[in-house]
């Protein structure tokens, strides 16, 4: 059996500097203030590295990013946020060598809690050797590490004993003493001729399908500064954009959107509005953000009611279209959808929750049982700074974060209405119809179909089944403080809309 021991930063990951991952930890686990403080200390940390005191700089980084943070929150960020950014930074040449060995071990000076999930689940490593955070009795990180960085090599030596690892993957001038234990060492660049002996069966890293967090781009020092400088302007811009949707009628919104940096790309031919002789059309949309049905209504220039499972009161007030809440009780939900289709068109997202990556979750078959007038709509979006979805945070902020982006772009592709032979009227089962719609939408967007569900997403990202409780939230206090504002805003909206 052959063993490989590899450094993480600079080998399995292209980037040798883990600073951006601590910036992510600071932003997602604590917020903007800690994020800004860590960024202000970056020049000092950089000077320490240039003076040969890189370990001291790393200790400062770890301290600022984690001190006073509950360890469960650090674990949550490591589970839901960091794997996506780590995955995008994988060095595939190093991965080809690493994955060809029977047993794989990873070494890093980053706290183990931050990298362990990614390394074991996505890089398929057997174990990871990193630093250990000191945790107080009350469950908060102290910002310190238990042992010096040299103890990492000692633990590796103790693991292997008299046996030598077959290969050590390391950076040039690496200060890890464990490399002397390895029979062979390789350093980048990893040329194919050198790797041929180690190349057997290459397995792919496990892709990241679900991830959380608000930041889209990797928070390097430069991009972090851009984000901090942009946020005040982004908040003002979001208020203006949301106000346009609340105040102006739908027919004028597409003309105003480009003036404030937004863009909507429409492909395909949408069906005409429901008439007296025809019942409403059921628009079956892919679910990318809470803005999907709003953008659909904007494109169609008429209000299309949307079926929702759980949205906050704040989001409901901001929504310029009617929303129909479902109970997750099949018979009751079916009756509600049928009644709305008798009145007119309706939008539904059968995935039940959003997915950021190019994957479609399993479609609920309920929509296929209720009508044969099904129009698939492929929705997709692009943003620059902030994600407009969250599993762990306050969902009421989703539309605000979407509109805070400098140039949010939405793509809406209308497919042809399903022919009768592709619906349940021809004898097909609802599951067959739902799977068919999922496949054609995935093909249109270039996505992959999966069998993952809403519960799978929330179990991975939030550690629960996605059930929303109105009275249990980390932001419940904020909601209470905003309750009066929401009531006034709702009244104000009705007054403004009555003028049009």
Assess whether 170 and 251 both reside in one domain.
no
Q: Is residue 209 part of a domain?
A: no
Q: Is residue 476 part of a domain?
A: no
Assess whether 180 and 255 both reside in one domain.
no
Assess whether 350 and 238 both reside in one domain.
yes
Assess whether 52 and 171 both reside in one domain.
yes
The domain containing residue 450 runs over which residues?
229-468
> 184, 211, 241: which is the final residue of a domain?
184
**Cα(469)–Cα(320) distance, integer angstroms:** 24
Assess whether 317 and 464 both reside in one domain.
yes
- Residue 307 has what pLDDT? 87
- Residue 487 has what pLDDT? 44
Q: Is residue 381 part of a domain?
A: yes
Assess whether 47 and 100 both reside in one domain.
yes
Q: Is residue 286 part of a domain?
A: yes
**Cα(447)–Cα(272) distance, integer angstroms:** 28
In a structure prediction context, what are the per-residue pLDDT tens digits for the chain, which is 500 residues long? Answer: 788 999 999 999 999 999 999 999 999 999 999 999 999 999 999 999 999 898 999 999 999 999 999 999 999 999 999 999 999 999 999 999 998 888 999 999 999 999 999 999 999 999 999 899 999 999 999 999 988 777 887 888 888 877 888 888 888 877 777 777 888 888 888 765 444 444 455 678 999 999 999 999 999 999 999 999 999 999 999 999 999 888 888 888 888 989 999 999 999 998 877 665 567 899 999 999 989 999 999 999 888 999 887 666 767 777 788 888 877 788 888 888 888 888 889 999 999 899 999 999 999 999 999 888 999 999 999 999 999 999 888 888 898 999 999 999 999 999 999 999 999 988 899 999 999 999 999 999 999 999 999 999 999 998 776 665 444 333 443 443 344 334 434 544 444 344 34
**Cα(258)–Cα(408) distance, integer angstroms:** 10
Assess whether 63 and 123 both reside in one domain.
yes
Q: Is residue 433 part of a domain?
A: yes
User: How many domains does one find in the chain?
Assistant: 2
Assess whether 239 and 179 both reside in one domain.
no
Assess whether 51 and 180 both reside in one domain.
yes
Q: Is residue 498 part of a domain?
A: no
Assess whether 460 and 345 both reside in one domain.
yes
> 184, 213, 239: which is the final residue of a domain?
184
SS3 sequence of 12-62 = CECCCCCHHHHHHHHHHHCCHHHHHHHHHCHHHHHHHHHCCCHHHHHHHHH
Q: Is residue 389 part of a domain?
A: yes
Assess whether 286 and 415 both reside in one domain.
yes
- Residue 494 has what pLDDT? 45
The CATH code of the domain that includes 16 is 3.40.50.1000
For the entire predicted model, the pTM comes to: 0.86
Cβ pair 391, 80 in contact under 8 A? yes
Assess whether 174 and 283 both reside in one domain.
no
Q: Is residue 224 part of a domain?
A: no
């Amino acid at each position: 059996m052959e063993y490989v021991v590899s450094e993480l930063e600079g080998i399995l990951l292209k980037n040798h500097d883990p600073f951006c991952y601590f910036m992510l930890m600071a932003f997602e686990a604590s917020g903007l203030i800690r994020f800004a403080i860590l960024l202000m200390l970056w020049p000092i940390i950089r000077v320490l590295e240039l003076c040969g005191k890189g370990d001291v700089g790393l200790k400062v980084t770890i301290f600022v990013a984690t001190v006073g943070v509950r360890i469960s929150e650090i674990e949550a960020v490591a589970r839901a946020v960091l794997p996506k950014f780590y995955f995008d930074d994988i060095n595939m040449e190093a991965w080809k060598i690493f994955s060809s060995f029977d047993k794989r071990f990873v070494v890093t000076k980053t706290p183990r809690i931050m990298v362990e999930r990614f390394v074991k689940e996505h890089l398929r490593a057997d174990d990871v050797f990193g630093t250990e955070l000191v945790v107080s009795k009350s469950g908060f990180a102290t910002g310190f590490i238990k042992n010096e960085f040299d103890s990492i090599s000692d633990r590796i030596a103790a693991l292997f004993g008299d046996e030598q690892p077959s290969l050590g993957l390391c950076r040039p001038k690496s200060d890890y003493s464990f490399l002397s234990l390895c029979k062979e060492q390789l350093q980048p660049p990893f040329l194919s001729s050198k790797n041929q002996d180690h190349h057997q069966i290459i397995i792919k890293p496990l892709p990241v399908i679900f991830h959380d967090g608000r930041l889209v781009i990797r928070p390097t020092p430069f991009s972090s500064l851009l984000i901090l400088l942009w946020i005040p302007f982004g908040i003002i811009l979001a208020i203006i954009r949301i106000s346009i949707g609340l105040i102006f009628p739908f027919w004028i919104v597409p003309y105003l959107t480009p003036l404030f940096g937004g863009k909507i790309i429409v492909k395909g031919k949408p069906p005409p509005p429901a008439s007296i002789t025809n019942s409403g059309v059921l628009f079956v949309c892919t679910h990318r953000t809470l803005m999907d049905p709003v953008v659909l209504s904007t494109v169609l220039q008429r209000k299309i009611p949307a079926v929702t499972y759980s949205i906050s009161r704040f989001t409901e007030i901001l929504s310029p279209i009617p929303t129909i809440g479902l109970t997750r009780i099949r018979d009751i939900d079916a009756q509600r959808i049928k009644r709305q289709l008798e009145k007119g068109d309706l939008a539904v997202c059968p995935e039940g929750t959003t997915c950021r990556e190019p994957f479609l979750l399993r479609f609920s078959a309920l929509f296929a049982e209720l009508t044969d007038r099904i129009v698939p709509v492929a929705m997709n979006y692009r943003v620059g700074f902030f994600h407009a979805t969250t599993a762990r945070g306050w969902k009421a902020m989703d539309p605000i974060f979407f509109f805070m982006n400098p140039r949010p772009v939405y793509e809406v592709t209308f497919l042809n209405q399903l022919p009768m032979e592709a619906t349940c009227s021809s004898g097909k089962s609802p599951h067959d119809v739902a799977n068919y719609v999922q496949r054609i939408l995935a093909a249109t967007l270039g996505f992959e179909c999966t069998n993952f569900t809403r519960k799978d997403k929330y179990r991975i990202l939030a550690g629960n089944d996605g059930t929303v409780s109105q009275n249990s939230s980390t932001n419940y206090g904020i909601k209470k403080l905003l309750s009066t504002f929401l009531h006034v805003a709702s009244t104000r909206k009705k007054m403004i809309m009555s003028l049009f």
